[in-house]
Amino acid sequence: MYATGLHHTYAILNNDPSMRHSLLTYPAIAFLLLASSPDVITLSPIEEISARYRFNIAGWELQHFPSKWFRELGKVTFPFTRQKTEPQILLDEFFDLEENVRYTENQINRMFATGQAVTKERLELENSLSKFRKQRGSLRLDVEAILEAEISTLLREQEIPLNAGRLLFPPVDFTLIHPPLSLAISPRNHIERVGTILLDADVPIAEREALERRILHEENMAALVMGMGGLSTYPSIIASGDLQRTLVIASHEWLHQYLFFRPLGFNVYQSQEMRTLNETTANIFGNELGNLLYTRIMGEAPQVANTVNKDCPPSSFCFRKEMHHTRLETEKLLAQGKIREAEAYMEERRLLFVENGYLIRKINQAYFSHLGTYADNPASISPIFNQLVEMRQLSGSLARFIHLVSSVSSYSQFTQQLEELQNPQ
């Protein structure tokens, strides 16, 4: 059961006059974020190969932005036509259904990861999955409104957004649906993220694998189609998980929208370091704000394992340690020009992860190039995560940390800023 503090925030969302003013900002934000669209890097031959699966950002915005906007406008115009179900009940029901969806998806993914053929059992699981998703979808809009209100309230308290009176900018707005898939591209002879193309969320796994094989054979590039936790369109697209994960991702994507108007966001594609700085800052912020929100809603802190710097028990399989070792060994083999040996090694390691319960469909150069952008991921070899953690500790507050890091225009400016914090005059 969720804490009764939800009543107050949800009421503010529905009746706060500033919400009416915020409606005027939505079209401007949607246009700016849509116009940027930096996630798609032009790689003409690969774009041609993947064209039938491409996710249409412009089409998605035109379809979803007006529906969210008119829904909010309806709340202002008809303030007494509210959802009668208690917020706690809505959240309980929604996330119970989400748990059913995740369990069923995992069962299906296990069949793919272990190479099982299509069976009657898998078809039944796919039918159940469709039913759970439909039931969850019927609750989605009201759950989004409840969580948007909670996030907005905490952001104001933390003094992080660009406020104009009572208007929070950018306004918190997201939709809980499957984000598009990400097609990551890397050369085979070294690990480098040279392209990312967004694909429709419903591309079947068999077709994802066929697309990866075609890119490998025709372009001699490593390719991998991967799921995404979220995408900072406007409204953001958020993959709902459990409550804690949903709050973390929603906070992460909101920060990307905020950074869009700050130097760090302006210069995100200046270098790989700036991209890693942007994504890892969003991870740190999302985890901290999301966990604060979870504690406020649930009345207790989330039970989240500290997997970043904590040593694993000697007798257990340590995912972080093993994945980091895999990255380092792969780098070594590729540096020696042993491409086929590196690829065979990555597949050998993937099978080891599957044996230990980590259902990874493929590990290749594109896998590391994509996940390596997040410096807190074991697939990364970047020092930026530790640097950001130190800056967060020295900043004193989450607001000051975000204001500091968002003001940098280059990685060298960031390291200089960190040195100044380390050695105050």
Q: Say if 36 falls within a structural domain.
A: no
pLDDT at residue 409 tops 80: yes
Q: Say if 60 falls within a structural domain.
A: no
Lowest-pLDDT range of 160-169, 181-190, 370-379: 160-169
d(CA 410, CA 264): 8
Q: pLDDT value at position 247?
A: 94
The pLDDT of 248-263, averaged and rounded, is 93
150 shares its domain with 181: no
How would residue 22 be classed by pLDDT, with cut points 50, 70 and 90?
Answer: very low
401 shares its domain with 323: yes
Residue 81 phi, psi dihedral angles, 5° rounding: -95, 80
153 shares its domain with 188: no
Q: Say if 140 falls within a structural domain.
A: yes
Number of domains in the chain: 2
pLDDT: is 186 or 359 the higher one? Answer: 186
Residue 320 phi, psi dihedral angles, 5° rounding: -60, -45
SS3 at position 195: strand
In this structure, are residues 78 and 251 in contact, taking their beta carbons and an 8 Å threshold?
A: no
pLDDT in tens, 71-101: 656 555 544 444 556 887 889 899 999 988 8
112 shares its domain with 258: no
Q: Say if 66 falls within a structural domain.
A: no
How would residue 339 be classed by pLDDT, with cut points 50, 70 and 90?
Answer: very high
Q: Say if 307 falls within a structural domain.
A: no
How would residue 311 be classed by pLDDT, with cut points 50, 70 and 90?
Answer: low
Range of the domain at 108: 85-158
Whole-number mean pLDDT of the chain?
A: 82
Q: pLDDT value at position 121?
A: 81
pLDDT in tens, 279-298: 999 999 999 999 999 999 88
226 shares its domain with 372: yes
232 shares its domain with 333: yes
Burial 341-375 (b: 16+ CB within 10 A, else e): ebbebbeebbeebbeeeeebbbbbbbbbbbbbbbb
Q: pLDDT value at position 313?
A: 72
The pTM of the whole model exceeds 0.85: no
Look at residues 128, 158, 188 and tell me which one is the last residue of a structural domain: 158
127 shares its domain with 257: no
DSSP state of 270: S
In this structure, are residues 383 and 205 in contact, taking their beta carbons and an 8 Å threshold?
A: no
Q: Say if 368 falls within a structural domain.
A: yes
Segment of 29-43, 86-100, 215-229 carrying the highest mean pLDDT:
215-229
Task: Write the DSSP assignment of 45-111 as a string of letters.
Answer: HHHHHHGGGB--HHHHHHHHHHHHHHHHHHHHHSTT----S-HHHHHHHHHHHHHHHHHHHHHHHHH
Q: pLDDT value at position 114?
A: 66
How would residue 116 be classed by pLDDT, with cut points 50, 70 and 90?
Answer: low
Q: Say if 53 falls within a structural domain.
A: no
Lowest-pLDDT range of 114-128, 200-214, 306-320: 306-320
94 shares its domain with 128: yes
248 shares its domain with 335: yes
Q: Say if 343 falls within a structural domain.
A: yes
pLDDT at residue 113 tops 80: no
Look at residues 158, 186, 214 and tell me which one is the last residue of a structural domain: 158
232 shares its domain with 152: no
179 shares its domain with 150: no
d(CA 293, CA 302): 10
Look at residues 158, 189, 205 and tell me which one is the last residue of a structural domain: 158
In this prediction, what percent of the chain has a pLDDT beyond 90? 46
129 shares its domain with 203: no
pLDDT at residue 145 tops 80: yes
